[in-house]
Amino acid sequence: MGKKGKNITRRRLRSSYLTSLISVTLVLFLLGLVGLILLDARKLSEYIKESFSFSVIIREDAKDVEVKLFQKTLEAKPYVRETRFVSKEEAAELLKKELGEDFLNVLGYNPLLSSIDVYLQADYAVNDSLKKIVEEVRKYPLVKEVYYQESLLNAINQNIRNITLFLLGFSLLLLLVALTLINNTVRLLLYSRRFIINTMQLVGASPGFIRRPFLLHGMLQGLLGGIFAATMVSGVIYFLQKEFPDFYLVEDYLNILFLDAGIIMTGILITLLSTFFAVNKYLSAEEDELYI
C-alpha cells in the first residue's frame, strides 16, 4: 500500500507540473500575441502615415526638364519617402473616373495642371512638420500651389493615438491578469509540497537551501513555458506569412526575435518571483496554518 500510495502521489505531482506548465504556456502565448499586435500596430501606423501625400501643382509654363530636376530635388529631401509625377492628361483621366463623365467634352479643353504627389516619411506626417515642409516647397519658382487635406491628416494621427492607447491599456490589463494567473498556478503547485517545506525546516535546513530547488524548478518551468509560447507565436506568424503574404510585420525578423526573447524572459521572471514569494509564505507559516 505504501508503494502504491507513493506512485499515486508521484502521478499527481506530474499531473500538477504538467497542468502548471500548460497554464504558464497559454498565458505567455496570449501575452506574445498582444506583443505581436503592438509591434504590427506600430508598423501599420507607419504604413498609413507613409501613404499620406500632398500635391505640388506645377505652373503651366514650366519646362519638362525643370520639372524633372525639381522632382529629383524633392526626392533628395530627408522628409520625402517617394514622389510621383502626374501629368495633366493623367489628372484628367483620374477626374473623369471620379465624376463618371467626360468633362473635357463639355469644356472643350483640359484646365488641369501637372502635379507631383509627395509621400512623406512617417515621422514627418504630422501637422507641425507638414506646415513647415509646405512653406518650404511653396518657395520654389515652379510651384503654383501646394494642396493637402489637413483634416485627413488630423484624423489619421488621432485614430492612431486612440488605437495605440487602447492597445497599451489592454496590454497592461492582460499583463496584470497573466501575473495573477501564473502566480496562482505556482502557489497551487507549491501548496501540495508545503509539508515538505515544513519538514525541511524541522530538520534544520536553511531558508536559502529550501528555496533553491523550488526556484530552479520555477525558472525551468518559466523557461519551458516561454519556449513553447514563443514557438506557438512563431507558428502564428508563419501562418500569417503563408496565408497573407503582405502581412507587414513578418518581414522584420529582428523584432520577432526580440518578441520571442521577451516572452521567454517574462516567463522566467514571473515564475521565479511567484515561486520565491510562495516559498517564503510557507517558510514563515505556523504549523497549524499548513492545514488551512
pLDDT tens, position by position, for the chain (292 residues)? 445 544 555 565 566 677 778 888 888 898 888 888 877 777 778 888 888 888 998 988 888 898 899 999 999 999 999 999 988 778 767 766 766 666 556 565 566 788 889 999 988 888 888 889 989 999 898 888 888 887 888 888 888 888 888 888 887 887 788 778 777 777 777 777 777 777 787 787 788 888 888 889 888 988 999 999 999 998 888 887 777 665 555 556 777 888 899 999 998 998 888 888 888 887 776 666 555 5
C-alpha cell at 159: 485614430
Question: How many domains, the chain?
Answer: 2
Residues 62 and 21 in one domain: no
Residues 168 and 273 in one domain: yes
Residues 34 and 69 in one domain: no
Residues 24 and 62 in one domain: no
In the chain, what is the straight-line distance between the N-terminal and C-terminal CA atoms, in Å? 27
- The amino acid sitting at 195 is F
Residues 42 and 65 in one domain: no
DSSP 125: -
DSSP 121: P
Does pTM surpass 0.85? no
End-of-domain residue from the set 107, 124, 141: 124
Residue 134 lies inside a defined structural domain of this protein: no
Residues 84 and 39 in one domain: no
Residues 41 and 62 in one domain: no
Residues 26 and 171 in one domain: yes
Residue 11 lies inside a defined structural domain of this protein: yes
CB atoms under 10 Å from CB of 272, counted, come to 19
Residue 68 lies inside a defined structural domain of this protein: yes
- The amino acid sitting at 30 is L
Q: Give the domain extent around 41.
A: 2-47+156-291
Residues 43 and 170 in one domain: yes
Residues 196 and 120 in one domain: no
Residues 95 and 231 in one domain: no
Beta bridge partners of 84: 117
